[in-house]
Structure 1
């Protein structure tokens, strides 16, 4: 999410769990270019507690019903924690479901002055997998129990029946979300706004179903996690042939410069200095491939200082696990499922990727010096949401 909203690599300038004060965002750039800006979502990792509200005129998040600066301002932390836990138990989903998100999106777009920039993150296609909009307490508790076993505590103990249940419910969630997203886009079309709007649909990550001995998205950046959908619908007059499929490798950091380029927006100097992404308009209009050598995937393991990296080209995938110091190389030409480590047989290729890895370490260290990240998880009630979504035990 940090890569999409800032256009820079996730671990620079303090990392992907928090947006530091000097970091420009896509919302700030659109705001400074005369756009009304709105965000409506329920992801506890992308909240105002983590500074993700920078640049948004409206920032609605369904995170904590009771906040220390809200209704129960003088309540002790333990009271807030139990109040939030009680409300979470009463809810039939651990997130705001897409029909409610759509209602708020529609209300905002109906009232917002044009031009506007709107961002949301639907959480329906996310563990714990609920079977396609069947929001019952029984399904909720079963889904949370199974998700925690698979993605947090005991992935090796998942039975064949449990695996099939997880995968079936995941597919049902995808189908359900597809229908609900279509309803919102149909509303924009009915209001005559769709033809004038750039619509970007992207997954921030995929989920693994034990392809590499794990479930969810806490593993190394195998393609099951990083080869995500990216669909763009361009407004009339954009000089881009539609529909078409582009097979070039592209990155999440390229979304921000593409959108701002299409809007002919003026970028701040700090945004230009920090931005790693490239506009995809030359690729889409003139078949000019992007200039980067490889796609970089990077993250910090939650609760630890260990870093994980992935470097991908058309042929090669190089993975580094900072927790174990393990290095893996896959030849995707003959091993698209990333099953055979061929690092020992290709030392020159490994050496080149190690050079890129060291460059990333150096850049991360230099840009993140003297930046302090607050302990967000210590906020009353936040840990319950993170636990429900499988982000912590």
Structure 2
């Protein structure tokens, strides 16, 4: 029996929203975790969607081969590897940071992106950009949210699965836990406008001016969004069981990155790679007939390893180009044989496009080193004594700093070497996309 692969990425889902002392009420994720391999120390390669999802969908680090704003033409993707192995590939999402304009549809037989409601095709093909922009702005004002809600996503996923022959690989990017945080499924226009105004104040304009009451409102609504997502996820998973898709499907649930609630002076995910932005939940439910057994894994792993693990499990054929570029490693040896991965340092990186500089984080079990290229600042945290990353001790651990500086130099060299002959085209966003990006706190 062939194995299907269902890849469910949840935008801005922190690890401690699902597990730990501050976890929320997520009974369906809890039930799923009871029958899954749960990786308790999984860390993302990006602090926002573009770098994180580039890494997840290509198996390479975000800044190599031209960076994470666009998947260049010769870059092999995970979807292509499934295609090469006889899989039908599908994607359904509403995140403008992973659109076909940025070549994220590469390798997908079916790619549905609900980014803007009105596009310049059909009767509106000759409409000027300004007209489309204002029309989309009007529609967005009337819409419940600037993204496709989980209930609608799941209906589309269910329909696609029902119409597609095995084996298939299907990816979605749930947006409900991304700001602006609405109070779960309790929609009113007052809630919507209040949430968007508060989100822009916190994540874009004035994080230092957020009051204690507003802070609690943000946290409360984030919790409600996570719990609402959990309810809808439970309905979807039950539907898979009813339709006979459960036992033969490898199901992956992962946060693409986290969100900060002023732990380090900001909201959202625009800060350096602190753990609240990089520590994400990862659950992998294997098909029953080939189950590796439910287990908890505490070893340090990376999100870039997730889909290489799926490819390994289904014994997919990889192209030579993919083998050359892929940084991710299969976690099957760790799960089955307790064989540790080859790395002991987890890399997180991002290009700050508006400021034209790079940011890096290097994490081990004991240390976190951060580098901000804007002002060439460095930070070092002892994660054993200071898990909240509150005290910079870079001045008193020169030997440790030197070791991390070598990692940084290696990364800069690799980025330069792999991107030397790569051409990334200028991308003109569709008229109206900027309205969605603004609502999501990106502009």
TM-score (norm 2): 0.86
Query: Per-residue deviation at 1:83?
Result: 1.7
Which among 379, 383, 389 is matched to residue 332 of structure 1? 383
The 3 A distance-change label for structure 1 pair 349 and 64 is same
CA distance in 2, matches of 1:150, 1:249: 31
The corresponding residue for 1:188 is: 240
The residue aligned with 1:18 is: 70
Query: Are the equivalent residues in 2 in contact too, given 1:197–1:234 (CA < 8 A)?
Result: yes
Out of 422, 428, 434, which is 1:371 matched to?
422
- Counterpart selection for 2:333 from 267, 282, 290: 282
In structure 2, how many angstroms separate the alpha carbons of the residues matched to 1:290 and 1:114? 31
1:255 to 291, 306, 324: 306
> Aligned match of 2:128 in 76, 85, 107?
76
Contact 1:8 1:277 in 2 (8 A): yes
Residues 239 and 285 in structure 1, CA contact (< 8 A), matched pair in contact too: no
1:64 pairs with one of 97, 103, 116 = 116
- From 74, 77, 81, the counterpart of 1:29: 81
Alignment pair present for 1:358 and 2:425: no
CA distance in 1, matches of 2:239, 2:308: 27
Deviations 1:326-377 (A, max 9, x none): 1000010100000011111110111011111011111111222243434435
Equivalent residues of 2:182, 2:222 under 8 A apart:
yes
Aligned match for 2:342, one of 291, 309, 312: 291
In structure 2, the partner of 1:264 is: 315
CA contact (8 A) 1:127 1:390 kept: yes
Q: Say yes or no: does 1:314 pair with 2:365.
A: yes
Structure 1 residue 343 and structure 2 residue 394: aligned? yes
Cα distance between partner residues in 2 of 1:213 and 1:78: 37
CA distance in structure 2 between the partners assigned to 1:43 and 1:136 by the alignment: 23
How big is each residue's C-alpha offset from its partner over 1:160-184, in whole Å with a ceiling of 9 and x where there is no partner? 0000000000000010001111111
- Aligned pairs for 1:50-61 (under 5 A) are 50-61=102-113
Match of 2:293 in 1: 241
- Deviation (angstroms), 1:303: 1.9
Measured on the aligned residues, the alpha-carbon RMSD in Å equals 1.1
Q: Give the equivalent residue in structure 1 for 2:47.
A: none
1:217-257 CA-partner distances (Å, limit 9, x unpaired)? 10000000000011100112335121x11000110110111
Moved more, 166-175 or 62-71: 62-71
Whether the 8 Å CA contact 1:127–1:147 is kept in 2: the answer is yes
Quickly say closer, same or farther: Cα 1:158–1:110, change in 2 above 3 A: same
Aligned counterparts of 1:238 and 1:317: Cα–Cα separation in 2: 37
Answering whether residue 183 of structure 2 is matched by residue 124 of structure 1, we say no
Q: Which residue of 1 aligns with 2:97?
A: 45
Contact 1:204 1:228 (8 Å CA) reproduced: yes
289 and 86 in structure 1: CA distance in 2 versus 1, 3 angstrom threshold:
same
**Matched pairs, number:** 391
TM-score of the pair, normalised by structure 1: 0.97
For residue 278 of structure 1, report the CA deviation from its aligned partner: 0.5
Give distance in 1, aligned partners of 2:119 and 2:422. Answer: 26
Query: Residue 389 of structure 1 corresponds to which residue in structure 2?
Result: 440
Unaligned runs of 5+ in 1: none
Cα distance, 1:74 vs structure 2: 1.2
SS in 2 for 1:339: coil
| Gap change, CA 1:239 and 1:176, over 3 Å in 2 | closer
Aligned residue in 2 for 1:166:
218
Secondary structure at the aligned position of 2:289 is classed as: coil
After superposition, the C-alpha distances for 1:121-143 in whole angstroms (9 at most, x for unaligned) are: 10000100000112221111111
Which protein is richer in strand relative to its size?
2
Aligned mate of 1:154, from 206, 211, 217:
206
Q: State the 1:378 CA deviation.
A: 4.0
Aligned partner of residue 228 in structure 1, secondary structure: strand
Partners of 1:288 and 1:370 in 2: CA distance: 37
Please report how far the alpha carbon of residue 379 of structure 1 lies from its aligned counterpart in structure 2 after TM superposition: 2.9
Counterpart residue number, 2:8: none
